[in-house]
């Protein structure tokens, strides 16, 4: 796990990661449902799609749109266990701990708060 300021600085230097923006229906969904509801969905996605020790379709389990959390996951490299290892130094092959899950949620929350406020990193 990384310091969030360092992480967000690194993400903003990645062309691929910073290409993900919240727009259209996904942004409207966040604005209409509100952050707490959207984050409760994030908890569910983390538990089902990231936390298990073995994920048969790892690397393909997160759609690119259809929910603001999916976009946030790609933007912050919380999309799969491969990216969690590479970007966040979370070891693969073991179930995510409560601390890991809370960390991923905090990363997604920070990104979503920025986007909900209309903030886009240059």
Counting contacts by CB under 5 A, is residue 11 touching Zn ion?
A: no
What is d(CA 54, CA 49) in angstroms, rounded to the nearest whole number? 10
Of residues 80 and 96, the one with the C-beta less far from Zn ion: 80
CB of 84 to Zn ion, least distance (A): 8
Per the structure block, which two tokens stand in for 63? Answer: 């759609």
CA distances from 76 to 10, 16, 38, 49 (A): 10, 10, 16, 16
**Residue 83 touching Zn ion (CB under 5 A):** yes
Size of residue set near Zn ion by CB under 5 A: 3
Q: CA–CA separation, 61 vs 41, rounded Å?
A: 15
DSSP state for residue 11 in the 8-state scheme: H
| The only residue of 7, 50, 69, 79 in contact with Zn ion, by rule CB under 5 A | 79
80 binds Zn ion (CB under 5 A): yes
Q: Give the footprint of Zn ion on this chain (CB under 5 A).
A: 79-80, 83
């Amino acid at each position: 796990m990384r310091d969030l300021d360092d992480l967000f600085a690194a993400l903003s230097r990645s062309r691929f990661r910073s290409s993900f923006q919240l727009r259209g229906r996904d942004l409207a969904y966040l604005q209409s449902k509100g952050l707490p509801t959207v984050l409760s969905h994030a908890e569910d996605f983390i538990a089902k799609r990231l936390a298990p020790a073995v994920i048969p379709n790892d690397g393909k389990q997160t759609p690119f749109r259809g929910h603001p959390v999916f976009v946030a996951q790609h933007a912050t490299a919380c999309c799969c266990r491969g990216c969690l290892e590479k970007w966040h130094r979370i070891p693969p092959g073991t179930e995510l701990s409560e601390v890991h899950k809370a960390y991923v949620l905090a990363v997604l929350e920070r990104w979503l708060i920025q986007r909900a406020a209309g903030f886009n990193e240059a």
